[in-house]
């Protein structure tokens, strides 16, 4: 069972500060949006009507999270200004679809153009790499707050690239510190393992798999040649945000398939008994516990385990 703790005051203050910053950046505090005669809500309703055919009032209530009475009054105001018109729907003559009139489209056009120019001016302040970073961060906000559907392809696996070693080292150090209280000596160990992997990498017998989701690294695993007959699976990890997608199992399966194809007789790994989720993946894949011993590492008393899979 996952226990969700209420956010601390610092996080709440940070979100509120961001809200104040962004509303100021895009002019939401102005009396009219982009110096137009329309409020933010009115402009959003016009946008929906300009980009979707056949909408009825209940669609606007649902999609924009607005009060039904407020939407009714707003649409009546638009009708009086001849910006919208209603027509009975084919499915139900009692329900009216709403569409912009030509006057409505003419009123929306400069608002849409100015909004486009405002965002372009905002992005033009940044170099292309920072623009990509900003857009990616905004996508993360949308996804986390539930306003963006999950991608059709939840993740992809790719080979190691420049930058991955530093990223994986940092993330593993942070995640194991947060989840298990391990100290910086674990991050140092990861750095040593990966530095040696890069220096001695033999693409014929070794491989790295990086899991990526929407441009972000969310997991990885490394297969290292130990001898002609034995390969070692190392440093399996999955980001907390990507757990539940089967990434850990997929990464282990890739290691097994590669080791078998290369003719290794044994695939071995070392872990600790508190890493319950990882051990379940290993057991399900056919690994068997070969030995275990108590040790003090990373600032904790642990039980280390060696698991083997024989081919």
Enumerate domains of the chain plus CATH numbers.
9-144 (1.10.10.10), 156-310 (3.40.630.30)
20-29, 65-74, 176-185: which range is least confident on average? 20-29
Between CA 149 and CA 20 the distance in angstroms is 26
Confidence at 290, pLDDT banded by 50, 70, 90: very high
Tokens of 48: 């929906």
pLDDT of residue 221: 98
Long-range CB contacts (within 8 A, 24+) of 146-153: 151/213, 151/214
Confidence at 1, pLDDT banded by 50, 70, 90: very low
147-151, 176-180, 241-245: which range is least confident on average? 147-151
Can you tell me the mean pLDDT for 149-165? 82
23-32, 72-81, 134-143: which range is least confident on average? 23-32
pLDDT of residue 5: 64
Confidence at 21, pLDDT banded by 50, 70, 90: confident
Please say if the pLDDT value at position 82 is more than 90: yes
Indicate the helix (H) or strand (E) that contains 137.
helix 128-144
Between CA 219 and CA 213 the distance in angstroms is 9
Tokens of 56: 């009825």
pLDDT of residue 36: 78
User: Which of the two residues, 40 and 267, has the higher pLDDT score?
Assistant: 267
Contact call for residues 288 and 309 (beta carbons, < 8 A): yes
- Rounded mean pLDDT of the chain? 89
Long-range CB contacts (within 8 A, 24+) of 166-174: 167/217, 168/194, 168/210, 168/217, 168/220, 168/235, 168/237, 169/194, 171/217, 171/237, 171/239, 172/235, 172/237
pLDDT of residue 85: 93
pLDDT of residue 223: 98
What SS3 state is found at 48? helix
Long-range CB contacts (within 8 A, 24+) of 67-75: 71/45, 74/41, 74/42, 74/45, 75/45
What SS3 state is found at 13? helix
User: Which of the two residues, 94 and 143, has the higher pLDDT score?
Assistant: 143
Can you tell me the mean pLDDT for 148-156? 68
User: Which of the two residues, 248 and 29, has the higher pLDDT score?
Assistant: 248
Between CA 112 and CA 120 the distance in angstroms is 12
Percentage of residues in the chain with pLDDT exceeding 90?
A: 59
Summarised one tens digit per residue, pLDDT across range 211-270 is 998 888 999 999 999 999 999 999 999 999 898 899 999 999 999 999 999 999 999 999
Confidence at 31, pLDDT banded by 50, 70, 90: low
Please say if the pLDDT value at position 206 is more than 80: yes
Between CA 49 and CA 120 the distance in angstroms is 23
pLDDT of residue 201: 96
User: Which of the two residues, 268 and 138, has the higher pLDDT score?
Assistant: 268
Can you tell me the mean pLDDT for 12-40? 79
pLDDT of residue 4: 59
User: Which of the two residues, 65 and 296, has the higher pLDDT score?
Assistant: 296
């Amino acid at each position: 069972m996952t226990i969700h703790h209420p956010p601390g005051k610092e996080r709440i203050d940070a979100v509120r500060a961001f809200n104040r910053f962004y509303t100021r950046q895009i002019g939401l505090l102005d009396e009219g949006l982009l110096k137009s005669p329309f409020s933010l809500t009115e402009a959003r309703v016009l946008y929906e009507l300009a980009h979707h055919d056949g909408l009825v009032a209940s669609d606007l209530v649902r999609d924009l999270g607005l009060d039904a009475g407020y939407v009714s009054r707003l649409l009546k105001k638009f009708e009086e200004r001849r910006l919208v018109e209603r027509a009975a729907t084919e499915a139900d003559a009692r329900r009216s679809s709403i569409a912009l009139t030509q006057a409505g489209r003419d009123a929306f056009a400069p608002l849409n153009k100015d909004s486009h120019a405002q965002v372009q001016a905002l992005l033009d302040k940044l170099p292309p790499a920072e623009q990509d970073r900003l857009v990616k961060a905004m996508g993360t906000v949308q996804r986390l707050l539930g306003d963006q559907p999950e991608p059709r392809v939840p993740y992809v696996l790719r080979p190691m690239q420049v930058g991955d070693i530093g990223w994986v080292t940092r993330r593993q150090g942070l995640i194991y510190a947060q989840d298990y209280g391990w100290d910086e000596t674990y991050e140092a160990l990861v750095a040593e393992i990966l530095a040696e992997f890069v220096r001695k990498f033999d693409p014929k017998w070794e491989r790295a798999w990086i899991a990526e989701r929407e441009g972000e690294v969310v997991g990885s695993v490394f297969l290292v040649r130990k001898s002609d007959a034995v390969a070692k699976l190392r440093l399996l990890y999955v980001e907390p945000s990507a757990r539940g997608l089967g990434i850990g199992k997929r990464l282990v399966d890739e290691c097994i398939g590669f080791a078998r194809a290369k003719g290794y007789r044994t695939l071995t790994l070392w872990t600790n008994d508190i890493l319950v989720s990882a051990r379940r993946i290993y057991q399900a894949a056919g690994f068997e516990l070969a030995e275990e011993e108590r040790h003090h590492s990373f600032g904790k008393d642990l039980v280390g385990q060696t698991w083997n899979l024989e081919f």
